[in-house]
Amino acid sequence: MSYVTAALATFENMFGTLDHLASKAQAAGGSDDLLHARLAEDMFPLENQFRVALNQVTQALVRLCELDVPFDEEPYTSFDEVRERLKAMQELVPQAKDAHWPAAEDTIEFTLPNGMAFAMQAHEYVRDWTLPNFYFHTSMVYALMRQSGMEIGKADLIPHMMRYFKAPANR
Each residue's pLDDT tens digit, 60-88: 999 999 888 888 999 999 999 999 999 99
Rg (CA), the chain: 17
- Determine the Cα–Cα distance for residues 20 and 157; give it in Å rounded to an integer: 9
H or E stretch including 70?
none
> What is the structure's pLDDT at 70?
86
- Determine the Cα–Cα distance for residues 94 and 9; give it in Å rounded to an integer: 11
Cβ-proximal residues to 153 (8 Å cutoff; 6+ apart), any chain? none
**What is the separation of C-alpha 41 from the centre of its chain, rounded to a whole number of angstroms?**
22
> What is the structure's pLDDT at 154?
92
> What is the structure's pLDDT at 171?
64
CATH fold of 3-164: Four Helix Bundle (Hemerythrin (Met), subunit A) (1.20.120)
Q: Which residues of 54-67 are buried (b: 16+ CB within 10 A; e: fewer)?
A: bbbbbbbbebbbee
Residues of the chain with pLDDT > 90: what percent? 84
Helix (H, G, I), strand (E, B) or coil at 160: helix
Give average pLDDT by consecutive 10-residue segment, the chain, 171 residues. 94 96 90 92 95 96 90 94 95 90 96 95 97 97 94 93 86 64
Q: CB–CB of 104/119 below 8 Å? A: no
Question: At 3, which amino acid appears?
Answer: Y
Domain boundaries, the chain: 3-164
> What is the structure's pLDDT at 31?
85
Q: CB–CB of 71/60 below 8 Å? A: no
Q: CB–CB of 62/69 below 8 Å? A: yes
> What is the structure's pLDDT at 1?
81
